[in-house]
Structure 1
Amino acid sequence: MAWKFKDRYMPGEIITIPFEITKKLHKLNDTLDAYRWYELLSLKEREQTIGDGGTIADILTKHVMCAYYIGWFDIEDDEAFENYKKDFRKFFIYPHPAFAACRFAACLGFIRHQRKLIEECEFLSSVQEGDSIFTNKNLIIENQNLSWD
């Protein structure tokens, strides 16, 4: 079973969010400090941490998406990170699961829309792919089927 939401950024598109997203969002909440630790690593250490993908890569990708959607912060600033954690919980943890799923659908829609704009931009389309959620086409943001248990 799943919720279906209209994509507010790309009219006519539908975003499907499975009911178990609540458990995944709570797992993200439990791993907020681990996400900060990951972001403080050097680029080489980050690449080694993610490895070939899998659950850890999926969790970190979702953290990056949420952080970009909520509003980026200075990863080294303790107060900014605490505010980010409060905002994350306000959007995804404290509301009723249907509202949290709606907010997560908006997050997915926003990221998909940003990717589409980058693909359409002649200048940015020539930028090499990196570990960005916007330019790395290997990152499938819509995949909600991985088990995080």
Structure 2
Amino acid sequence: MKKICFLGIAFILISCHSNVKKEDLVKLNGYWEIKQVKLADGEKKDYKVNETVDFFEVKNNAGFRQKVMPQFDGKFKTNDIKENIKIIEENKTFFIQYDTPYGKWKEEIIEIADSTLVLKNKDKLQYEYKRFVPFSLK
């Protein structure tokens, strides 16, 4: 019985750690479009159309996030407001730490792949992004 309890606890502890690897963090760079938000109670809100996308630029675990508006010619408009970010590691879990004149906060990186990014904030809101694919009328 003790072995079963120990194995159960070990499984839970292992499950709590992020699957994000340090070498995957470079995939954060680029344009990301919000796909879905999962609320703390499990309810989901889908986003079919987005007027803005998030642009991340990170080098040596520091950089910025900026909201940009895609244009039909493939370019982007922006208001030049950038949120300074740092990638930090705590207990084998990676976070994006934001720092703006209006506040400081962090989001856990739950998943990062070539076409998927999942972030979770302190309120347990989980944001699922997909890699933005530019559109053009050309």
Q: TM-score, normalised by structure 1?
A: 0.26
**Which one has the bigger helix percentage?**
1
Give the number of the structure with larger relative contact order, counting CA–CA contacts within 8 Å between residues 6 or more apart. 1
Structure with the higher strand share, 1 or 2: 2
Query: What TM-score does the superposition give when structure 2 sets the normalisation length?
Result: 0.27
